[in-house]
């Protein structure tokens, strides 16, 4: 079960990228699309963390570190900024000296890191179950 859990998590992460891309292509209102995309990036880790907690608690600490760093440092703050500045383009928003656009770009690397740790967890659990 554990091996498939990380594979499913990775597939959901990939599907989320395609879903967000599709959302922006189909929705002419980019501010509305960005709100929904941000909401999906907040909700997806919640579902993954819930399943991980119910099934395995804190057994895979690197995975927890990856998902929590993405969620607390990028997904939640960017979602709050989307709500707070709902009628403003992200290129015009900044938090102190840091432009929100730069923060958004950094979140992409954080998400890729989460995906890499998920794949690593899948490979590790697969190797453990074969031994």
Q: What tens digit of pLDDT does each residue of 45-90 get? A: 999 999 888 877 888 899 999 999 999 999 999 999 999 988 888 8
Average pLDDT over residues 13-42: 93
Is pLDDT of 1 > 60? no
- CB-CB neighbours of 31 under 10 Å: 14
CA 13 – CA 38 distance, rounded (Å): 14
pLDDT the model gives residue 3: 62
Length of the chain: 131
How many folded domains does the chain comprise? 1
Highest mean pLDDT (candidates 1-15, 74-88, 103-117): 103-117
Q: What global pTM score does this model have?
A: 0.89
Query: Which range marks the domain in which residue 33 is found?
Result: 2-130
């Amino acid at each position: 079960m554990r091996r498939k859990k990380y594979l499913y998590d990775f597939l959901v992460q990939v599907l989320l990228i395609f879903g967000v891309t599709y959302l922006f292509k189909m929705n002419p209102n980019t501010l509305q699309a960005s709100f929904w995309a941000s909401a999906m990036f907040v909700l997806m880790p919640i579902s993954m963390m819930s399943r991980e907690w119910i099934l395995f608690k804190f057994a895979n600490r690197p995975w927890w570190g990856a998902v929590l760093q993405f969620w607390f440092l990028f997904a939640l703050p960017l979602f709050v900024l989307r709500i707070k500045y709902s009628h403003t383009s992200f290129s015009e928003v900044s938090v102190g000296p840091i432009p929100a656009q730069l923060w958004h770009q950094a979140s992409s690397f954080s998400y890729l890191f989460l995906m890499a740790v998920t794949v690593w967890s899948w490979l590790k659990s697969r190797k453990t179950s074969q031994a």
